[in-house]
Every structure is written in structure tokens, then in C-alpha cells.
């Protein structure tokens, strides 16, 4: 090998990676879009597969030497389709009849590629409003989806903070979208894909479901499967699916060529075959009975945390949760806003994210709410008992008078440390040498 090949790890990088391992070990992770991958996924994401350039698709590559990565990508495709075992004449569930693409580098790129397959610049996207729980890529004006296309939003009912399907239909009739996006990044209740299907059929639009947050719950059979109703379904492969950071797309056979062309060569070059291998491993894990048990616990834990806040008379958006996340409006607690609330929690080694609430009067950099998710700490071994204790710690931290000395937070941090010590992560991991 060349003499420059084996110089060893940069000492600065080595220290930073070790610091991040320590941070993950010593913090309670409540960001709904984060999780801990298995040691097997972690291993595959760092394999020699990163050396292989493989533009194109299995059996149709622009480079030679792809026989092994073809096998890996085909395996990922078949497992991904098996996870969402439903066919694709919208509204009719039959086994098999749909197409999968596992090359997208992220959920945002998967969404961009879905749009590129069926939209032209200026076409209308009808997607969920950001403060109601939507995502930037659902037509928001500062995102590519709202710059290239014309974004129109639907929200939730002021009455109960649930989706109002009659109102969505009314908006769709007015704006005549080319595509309606269902799915969210901070909506805690069940979404009825069949009602969205009726809406798109009424106005002559495509239905795209972004299931990134709840893909694991759907794969486990705990939420309605959108594949039966959507023309295109996009997802990330991390979050509740507990795989590597990346994206994937499912679509009708009719849209197969358009989707594949939009991914490559339309939006991406060579796929990340080491990450596709890690995706295949994550799909393998998600097909096991243990994964369903895990997802059931994810929901139980989120509901236990929501109940703890509700019992303390906190405002939980939509009154609770049916999935892995919940959002708490903190503005009536000690004069807090979302940013202040998450900063307080970080002082006691709890990580969450500030988040808008429906009809939020505060800007997105401040917000009125905090979003919590249960997937990561459920992976770590937390059950309802730990989430209830965690909720009480959070409530105590937020109720401390502003400007108080650190004594109160110091005591709460001790409780957090005790919780964490019982549930270590990656005990046998080999840190960079």
C-alpha cells in the first residue's frame, strides 16, 4: 500500500468522536427523529462497500465490478418491499404489486425526487402546515419545495388539534393541487390514508405519503399501511425504522420509471452502497417479531410520558399521542418558550427539540412548544416506569423559578444520571484507535 495510506486516525477527529460517544452515553435522547442503530447496522455503515462506485441500478450499472453491490441492493429492495406488504392499485391491497428504490440519501432527497418525477416547476403542492406538524419539504416557502413549486398548506382544527379532512378537501378544491402530501414530522395522532385517497380522487391529484416518522410503526402493523392508498410513499430509514441515516421510496408500478429516473440521474449520482447494506440489515431486523414488540413499547412509552404531562395539567397538543411522539405547549409554564424549555433540559442532560404548536404566535427559532419522542430511549431499554419518572423530572425542571441557582437543576441531573447508568449503550463498542 502507499505509505500515505495507513497514517492512523487524525487525533482531533478521534477526540471528537469519543466526545460524541460520551455525550450519547450520558444524555437522555428524546428527539423524535433520532434513534440508536444496532451494532450490526453500525458495522455495515463503515465497511469497504464505501469504495465502490455504482451509478445506475442492479443489472444496469454504468461501472463494472458491481456484482456484489447488486446483490446487496437487491436484498435491500426485496426486504423493504416485504416490510410494507401491500400492493399498489391505490385503495386495493394485494400482495406485491409495487416498486421500491432504496438509493435516496435522505428523506428530503426522497421527497425532492418524488416531486421531480411527477411535477413541473410552479405546480401546486398541498402539504401540512409547519406549525401543525408538517415538514419543510411539504411545500414550505423557504425550502426547495416551496421555491420550485407552489406550496399551499392545510392545518389542524382549532377545536381539538386533529386533522380536519373536510377542511383539507375544501382547500384542495380551491387550490387544485397536482399532488397532496400526507404525513408529518410532529403530528401525534393517527392519519387516515383512505380519507386522503378520497380527497385526491375527488380533485384529480396524486397522493404522496411521507411516512418517515412512523415507518417503523407501520412496518410492525401498528398503524394503517399507506402503501395501499398512495401513489408514492417516501421515508427515512432512521427514526422509528432504526436504520442508518438515509431515505427510500415506494411507488406504483406505473410510476416506476419516473421515480427511478428522478433519483438517478435526475437528483443523485452513485448510491452509497455501504449505507444501502446497512439499510438491508435494518430491514432484516424490522422483519423480526422482536421489532414489533419494540414498536409496541415505543407507543406505550410515548403515551406514558404524555399522560404524565396531562396529569400535571400541561397542554399536550391534540390531547395525547397514538404514535412515538408528542408536543407540549410550554408557554403557560413559568413564562417559558420552546427554546428556553429545551435549554433548561440540556442542563440536566436531557435532549429534546423546540417545536412549533398549532397556530403558534412565536417564530420558528423560538417556538411555543417542545417535541418529545420515545424511540431512542425505548431502544435503550426504558419502559413506562422510566418514562413516567422522566416526565416528572422534566416537569420539576420547568417549574423551577427563573434565575434560580443551579442547586435545583443539580439534584435533577443526579436523577437523570441514575436513570442513564441503568441503561448503557454500545457496551462492547470499539472506539477509534
**pTM tops 0.75, yes or no:** yes
**pLDDT of residue 91 exceeding 90:** no
Q: From residue 209, give the alpha-carbon distance in Å to each of 180, 254, 325.
A: 8, 17, 18
Q: How far is CA 230 from the centre of its chain?
A: 18
Under DSSP, the state recorded for 263 is I
Among 210, 285, 322, 360, the active-site one is 210
pLDDT bin (cut points 50, 70, 90) of residue 403 is low
Active-site residue, 53 included: yes
Share of the chain above pLDDT 90, in %: 90
Q: From residue 166, give the alpha-carbon distance in Å to each of 43, 172, 245, 376, 400.
A: 48, 10, 36, 35, 43
* Secondary structure class of 350 (helix, strand, coil): strand
**pLDDT of residue 432 exceeding 80:** no
Active-site residue, 245 included: yes
Active-site residue, 137 included: no
Instruction: List the binding residues for (6S)-5,6,7,8-tetrahydrofolate.
Output: 130, 134-136, 253
pLDDT value for 6: 78
Active-site residue, 273 included: no
Averaged pLDDT, 78-95: 70
Among 178, 189, 245, 354, the active-site one is 245
Active-site residue, 252 included: no
Q: Dump pLDDT digits (tens) for 223-242.
A: 999 998 999 999 999 999 99
**pLDDT of residue 5 exceeding 90:** no
CB 135 within 8 A of CB 125: no
**C-alpha–C-alpha distance, residues 87 and 400, integer Å:** 53
Strand partners, 351: 29
Amino acid at each position: 500500500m502507499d505509505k500515505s495510506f495507513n497514517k492512523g486516525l487524525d487525533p482531533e477527529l478521534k477526540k471528537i468522536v469519543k466526545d460524541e460517544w460520551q455525550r450519547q452515553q450520558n444524555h437522555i435522547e428524546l428527539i423524535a427523529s433520532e434513534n440508536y442503530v444496532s451494532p450490526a447496522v453500525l458495522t455495515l455503515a463503515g465497511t469497504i462497500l464505501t469504495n465502490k462506485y455504482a451509478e445506475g441500478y442492479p443489472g444496469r450499472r454504468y461501472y463494472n465490478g458491481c456484482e456484489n453491490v447488486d446483490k446487496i441492493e437487491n436484498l435491500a429492495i426485496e426486504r423493504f418491499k416485504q416490510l410494507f406488504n401491500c400492493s399498489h392499485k391505490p385503495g386495493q391491497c394485494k400482495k406485491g404489486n409495487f416498486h421500491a428504490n432504496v438509493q435516496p440519501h435522505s428523506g428530503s432527497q426522497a421527497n425532492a425526487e418524488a416531486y421531480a418525477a411527477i411535477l413541473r416547476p410552479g405546480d401546486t403542492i398541498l402539504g401540512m402546515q409547519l406549525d401543525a406538524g408538517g415538514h419543510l419539504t411539504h411545500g414550505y416557502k423557504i425550502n426547495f419545495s416551496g421555491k420550485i413549486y407552489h406550496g399551499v398548506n392545510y392545518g389542524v382544527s382549532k377545536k381539538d388539534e386533529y386533522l380536519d379532512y373536510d377542511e383539507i378537501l375544501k382547500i384542495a378544491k380551491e387550490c387544485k393541487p397536482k399532488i397532496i402530501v400526507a404525513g408529518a414530522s410532529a403530528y401525534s395522532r393517527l392519519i387516515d390514508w383512505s380519507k386522503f385517497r378520497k380527497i385526491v380522487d375527488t380533485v384529480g391529484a396524486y397522493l404522496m405519503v411521507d411516512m418517515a416518522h412512523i415507518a417503523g410503526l407501520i412496518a410492525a402493523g401498528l398503524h394503517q399501511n399507506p402503501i395501499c392508498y398512495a401513489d408514492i410513499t417516501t421515508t427515512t430509514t432512521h427514526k422509528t425504522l432504526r436504520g442508518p441515516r438515509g431515505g427510500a421510496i415506494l411507488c406504483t408500478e406505473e410510476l416506476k420509471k419516473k421515480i427511478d429516473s428522478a433519483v438517478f440521474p435526475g437528483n443523485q449520482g452513485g448510491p452509497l452502497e455501504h449505507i444501502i447494506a446497512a439499510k438491508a440489515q435494518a430491514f432484516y431486523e424490522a422483519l423480526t417479531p422482536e421489532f414489533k414488540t419494540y414498536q409496541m413499547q415505543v407507543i406505550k412509552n410515548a403515551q406514558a410520558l404524555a399522560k404524565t404531562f396531562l396529569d400535571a395539567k400541561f397542554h399536550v397538543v391534540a390531547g395525547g399521542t397514538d404514535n412515538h411522539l408528542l408536543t407540549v405547549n410550554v408557554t403557560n409554564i413559568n413564562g417559558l418558550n420552546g427554546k428556553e424549555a429545551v435549554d433548561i433540559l440540556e442542563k440536566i442532560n436531557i435532549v429534546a427539540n423546540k417545536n412549533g404548536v398549532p397556530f403558534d404566535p412565536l417564530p420558528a427559532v423560538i417556538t411555543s412548544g417542545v417535541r418529545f419522542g420515545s424511540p431512542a430511549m425505548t431502544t435503550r431499554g426504558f419502559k413506562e416506569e422510566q418514562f413516567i419518572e422522566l416526565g416528572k423530572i422534566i416537569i420539576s425542571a420547568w417549574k423551577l423559578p427563573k434565575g434560580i441557582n443551579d442547586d435545583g437543576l443539580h439534584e435533577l441531573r443526579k436523577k437523570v444520571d441514575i436513570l442513564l447508568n441503568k441503561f448503557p449503550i454500545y457496551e462492547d463498542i470499539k472506539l477509534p484507535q
